[in-house]
Structure 1
Amino acid sequence: MTLALLHTSPVHVPVFDGLRDRHHPGLDLRHVVAEQLLVRARAEAPEAVAGAVRDVLAEAVADGAAAVLCTCSTLGGVAERHAAELGVPVLRVDRPMAAEAVRADRIVVVAAVESTLAPTLDLLRDEAGDRTPSITTLLVDGAWDRFLACDHDGYLDAVAATVDRVDPTDGGVIVLAQASMTDAADRTTTPLPVLSSPRLGLAAAAANAVRRHG
């Protein structure tokens, strides 16, 4: 049973391997890293790479993937729309996190890349349904430049500092919009819940792969 993961950065590979080892032993993960997809999506728009995303997903399915998990929040919505034509579950990593976040009345979305904001907001509104939680966004200034420069600690520290500037007296939850931000939660001091996507997203994708394989 194979679960394919579409990444736009190689930093996600050890993160998801570690989660698999801890929570889903025996699950075969096949990592596909396509950094150029995010580069193009940021320069143009996520929809501009829809065909390229579909081709990458189709290749993973042809190679035997029972399900596919897109770990890029910018491209997640584009990816999951191809599920019907590909014939296997295609999931975005941040949907389970969004489903948990919309239980709160106030959500603060923290992102390092501006192209992530619109897809994340659309996802939260979709999961909220008839509910209308207050949603605000914070873009971490300079964080993505640090990420691209492989300054991982600087990147996480910048994210954590932005999280800690959120006024906790207003309540609610904080959403880390990108999977690469996950470890920043351990560096924060906020009393508010800080949600990230990898663990929840992998669990949902693993369950779909099991059902598909079974």
Structure 2
Amino acid sequence: MIPKTLGLIHTSATLIPVFQQLCQQYLPGVNLFNIVDDSLVKNIIARGGKLTPSISKRVADYVASAEDSGADYILVTCSSIGAAVEAAADTVRVPVLRVDQPMADLAVQKGKRIGVIATLRTTLEPTADLVQRRAALLGKEIEINARLCEGAFEALMGGDAAKHDELVAKALRQLTQEVDVILLAQASMARVVDTLADEDKGVPILASPPNAIQYIANLV
């Protein structure tokens, strides 16, 4: 039996080891390759958070390249370009998954009051929109509480990871009091959950990487 191949498309090289570890755990025997372009998110930020036609075309080109490189499945690990990923999925012959879809589906199953937290508005809005659309597909009414951690992304980019984690943790503690389940709109926030005391984890807190890889494992 020929091993399956998963192509991962990233907008940050820091996510490569995160997904490699998850794939070793949930997708043993599956071949992996990575495509990285960190200019995509930088371009979106420079354009005021707008996903322009030129950026969407580049995403579609990367998806096509992953297919040409032999991918049986394609996972795009950045939520900010989610709309472009959905459009690109229709242009290739292999399954294409945006990283936050399985997480959004799980959140809709778990509760009505859904919190979405992010350090970038370019990620917050697409993720909240996805949750709303996935709920609509199931005919379920939900309430979304979207929370932006002001200053956290800038702190992380400036090398102050401790400040980033402090701001995210504070926002998580506040949000757990107001919702049934919380989605982390960025994989980089997942490590902060492990620093919270048990009493601060009053509701499920979902991160996209493990949910996405487990979803693909079920397909494979």
TM-score over 0.5 for the alignment? yes
What fraction of aligned residue pairs are identical, expressed as a percent?
36
Once the two structures are superposed, residues 39-59 of structure 1 have per-residue CA deviations (whole angstroms, 9 ceiling, x without a partner) of 112222123410011111111
- 8 A contact 1:177–1:196 mirrored in 2: yes
- Between the aligned partners of 1:171 and 1:79, the Cα distance in structure 2 is 28
Distance 1:144 1:175, change over 3 A: same
Matched, 1:79 2:82: no
Which amino acid is 1:102 matched to?
A: V
Distance 1:167 1:13, change over 3 A: closer
Does the residue aligned with 1:161 lie in a helix, a strand or coil?
A: helix
- 8 A contact 2:26–2:213 mirrored in 1: no
Matches of residues 141-160 of structure 1 in structure 2 within 5 Å? 141-160=150-169
- Between the aligned partners of 1:127 and 1:105, the Cα distance in structure 2 is 13
Shift in Å, 1:147: 2.4
Does the residue aligned with 1:141 lie in a helix, a strand or coil?
A: coil
- 1:115 aligns with 122
RMSD: 1.6
Once the two structures are superposed, residues 116-153 of structure 1 have per-residue CA deviations (whole angstroms, 9 ceiling, x without a partner) of 12211210111101222111111011111122234334
- 2:99 aligns with 93
- 8 A contact 2:176–2:202 mirrored in 1: no
Matched, 1:162 2:171: yes
Q: How many residues align?
A: 208
- Between the aligned partners of 2:88 and 2:5, the Cα distance in structure 1 is 18
- 1:137 aligns with 146
- 2:192 aligns with 184
- 8 A contact 1:47–1:78 mirrored in 2: no
Shift in Å, 1:203: 2.0
- 1:14 aligns with 17
- 2:36 aligns with 33
Which structure 2 residue ranges, 5 or more long, are not aligned? none
TM-score (norm 1): 0.90
- Structure 1 runs (4+) deviating above 4 angstroms are none
Which structure 1 residue ranges, 5 or more long, are not aligned? none
Shift in Å, 1:158: 2.2
- 8 A contact 1:79–1:90 mirrored in 2: yes
- Between the aligned partners of 1:157 and 1:25, the Cα distance in structure 2 is 35
Moved more, 122-131 or 147-156: 147-156
- 8 A contact 1:3–1:205 mirrored in 2: no
Moved more, 6-15 or 199-208: 199-208
Distance 1:145 1:164, change over 3 A: same
